[in-house]
Amino acid sequence: MDGRKRHIAKTLTWRIVATATTFALTMIFFREDPNATAKASWVAGIESLVKMVIYYYHERIWFNAKTKLSSRLRHLLKTITWRFTASLTTFSIAFLIFREDPNAMEKATGIALVEVFIKMLFYYLHERVWHTSKFGLN
């Protein structure tokens, strides 16, 4: 029972929540751009593909990590390690897509900083919901 089916399902459910959040934040920060919707869609789309792969391996690493941590502390540490990796990825993608914007660096940084707080909360709640589920563990 190695949990691969579960990790794929967790990856997909998290990606839906996270991608919608990234799209919304990108639209807010780059709302003046005449192509904001199209570019935010690119950011969200690229992020989805890249982060699904990164998230899957993040799950595999944590699944195989043998620790004596309580589930709450473990989920908190998973949240922090994931958020650092994911926010750096979001920043990079947003900056590359909107690089012609004279304030792209500041706006991409804003997206990454805001998502740190919003997505940490969402991720922690996602972990707690999955902790109660037995899906993929049988």
The CA-CA-CA angle for residues 10, 61, 119, to 5°, reads 50
The pLDDT assigned to 95 comes to 97
| 60, pLDDT greater than 70 | yes
Q: Is residue 138 part of a domain?
A: no
Q: How far apart are CA 134 and CA 45, in angstroms?
A: 30
Q: Is residue 80 part of a domain?
A: yes
| 92, pLDDT greater than 80 | yes
The pLDDT assigned to 82 comes to 86
Please give the DSSP secondary-structure letter assigned to residue 70: -
Q: Mutual orientation of helices 104-132 and 4-29 as an angle, nearest 10°?
A: 150
Query: Please, are residues 3 and 47 in contact by the beta-carbon 8 Å criterion?
Result: no
CB-neighbour burial class of residue 131 (10 A; exposed 0-12, middle 13-18, buried 19+): exposed
Average pLDDT for 11-15: 87
Q: How far apart are CA 103 and CA 100, in angstroms?
A: 9
Q: Is residue 137 part of a domain?
A: no
| 1, pLDDT greater than 70 | no
Q: For the chain, how many structural domains are there in total?
A: 1
The pLDDT tens digits of the residues spanning 106-117 come to 999 999 999 989
pLDDT band at 14 (very low <50, low <70, confident <90, very high): confident
Q: Is residue 91 part of a domain?
A: yes
Portion of the chain with pLDDT greater than 70, in percent: 99
The pLDDT assigned to 2 comes to 67
The pLDDT assigned to 67 comes to 84
> Which residue's structure tokens are 């794929």?
8
Q: Is residue 73 part of a domain?
A: yes
The pLDDT assigned to 89 comes to 94
Q: Is residue 122 part of a domain?
A: yes
Average pLDDT for 52-80: 88
Give the C-alpha distances (Å, rounded to integers) separating 105 from 29, 46, 101, 110, 112: 11, 18, 9, 9, 11
The CA-CA-CA angle for residues 101, 104, 110, to 5°, reads 145
Question: Which domain range does residue 82 map to?
Answer: 4-132
